[in-house]
Structure 1
Amino acid sequence: MDGDRAADSVRTLRGRTATRDADRAVTARMADVAGETGEPAFRAWTPHRQVAFGRRDTRSDGYEAAREAAESRGFPAVERSVGGRVVAYTGRTVAFASAVPLDDARTEMEGRYETATTAVVRALRSLGVPARRGEPSASFCPGDHSVQAHGKICGIAQRVKRDVALVSGIVVVADHEEIAAVLDPVYDALCVPFEPDTVGSVVRGGGPADAERVCRVLEDAFVGERRRRVEAVGSGDPD
């Protein structure tokens, strides 16, 4: 697309590191390298168990109560720089990140959102999930770029720097009831509307409870026919 640098290969990262901080650093470095080299990169993985708060959440008067609500339910609280409102990962929830090198940081933001949303819908449909764009009212991490099927399954965000755009998202594979149960008091503390039954998942949509398979179909959808330079980033202990 205009403004984005094309490449015949995609650096493709798989796996997660042993700690949350190291894992986040892998994705940040992935984006930096893509901007420096002009080679796009993609990663789909299962972050460690956590509740991740966005910048707006951290400025809320109810933030400390929200952190306590998450941690008292066995979800370590972390802060993230990309994305909107708070999300939860159970240890088999999938995250993905697509690093797109740029010639002009001002161009094609909506085009990148369109590409990512289309890729997620295609990936989920390949698993038998009747995925479509949009989200129910009072969903977790509400936003314009979401995918649903019997509840919200995926939310997509984008962070643009001078030479790279990082398009990232979350895909709820299973555990939608557990995620709803922890997010309900968290959103309540933040005074943000949230309806627990709006949390969907691949499983709730009729797909498999196989996070690794979800990672692979997302990789296929985002990378397509381009050559993959696969790198293993490590194997973290299971949550």
Structure 2
Amino acid sequence: MRVLRGRAATISADRKRTGAMLDRTAETGEPAVRVWTPHRQVAFGRRDAAEPGYDRARAAARERGFEPVERRVGGRAVAYTGSTVAFAHAVPVESPRTGLDDRYAAAAARLRRALASLGVDAEPGEPTDSFCPGSHSLQCAGKLVGIAQRVRTDAALVAGCVVVADRDAFASVLAAVYDALGQPFDPASVGSVAAAGGPSDPARVVEAVERELVGDAATTIHEV
């Protein structure tokens, strides 16, 4: 398994690095894992881009110091404050029609174990009116983890985010963004690893999540 570490110099370069990781898994059949702290940004989903208030939402993000970008993985807008941890697990697939639920379940179980190792007892589910609402979330005194999946004919990318600290900044920018989009969002629904009794250091969360996603696989380490 290939393990990528670090962050590229720009948001664009960083996103391309994850895309290249998925391409390589599709070509070689070798799984890959990347866990890191992306640049400060708001990543909008494809449905957000179709909303009448999309331009206002992008402006609201910029006004608060968050670069607006559009991601290819589904779901609604997610913020990265600089301490928010992102994870991406690229795996080969034989058919895009099978394995979706199994990949979600495996990712959720691994993230729960990672959080438990940090002293956070997260459970499946999310509060009402959470950010990027979906069926594959983890919560502990608020939503901590969102998981999404991008599936191609040859590979899948199971990806998501972990709110580590900066819960107020995370909730504040998304309150403005979701308001502009005309979508429900309750800032009080946002949790964080730190607020749940875990560490506020994102490096510790990165280490724990990477360890669980890699498991017992033999690895080669590559810097981004």
TM-score (norm 2): 0.99
> Are 2:203 and 1:202 equivalent residues in the alignment?
no
> Are 2:202 and 1:211 equivalent residues in the alignment?
yes
Q: Structure 1: 5+ residue runs without aligned partners?
A: 1-9, 234-239
- Native 8 Å contact 1:42 1:219 kept in 2: yes
Aligned mate of 1:66, from 57, 80, 91 = 57
* CA RMSD of superposed structures (Å): 0.7
Q: Alignment length, in residue pairs?
A: 224
Aligned to 1:227, the other structure's residue is in SS state: coil
What is the match of residue 181 of structure 1?
172
Q: Deviations over 1:84-122 (max 9, x none)?
A: 000100111100000011122221100000000001111
> Are 2:91 and 1:103 equivalent residues in the alignment?
no
Shift of 1:157: 0.4
Q: Structure 2: 5+ residue runs without aligned partners?
A: none
Aligned mate of 1:138, from 119, 129, 153 = 129
> Are 2:38 and 1:17 equivalent residues in the alignment?
no
Shift of 1:150: 0.8
What is the match of residue 150 of structure 1?
141
What is the match of residue 40 of structure 2?
49
Q: Which aligned runs of 4 or more in structure 1 are off by greater than 2 angstroms?
A: none
For 1:76 and 1:158, the matched residues in 2 are separated by 23
For 2:6 and 2:203, the matched residues in 1 are separated by 9
Aligned to 1:178, the other structure's residue is in SS state: helix
What is the match of residue 38 of structure 1?
29
Determine what percentage of the aligned residue pairs are the same residue. Answer: 58
Letter matched to residue 36 of structure 2: W
Aligned to 2:66, the other structure's residue is in SS state: coil
What is the match of residue 4 of structure 1?
none
What is the match of residue 6 of structure 1?
none
What is the match of residue 236 of structure 1?
none
For 1:92 and 1:188, the matched residues in 2 are separated by 24
TM-score (norm 1): 0.92
Shift of 1:76: 1.1
> Are 2:192 and 1:192 equivalent residues in the alignment?
no
Q: Deviations over 1:18-71 (max 9, x none)?
A: 000000000000001001101000000000000111100011001111111111
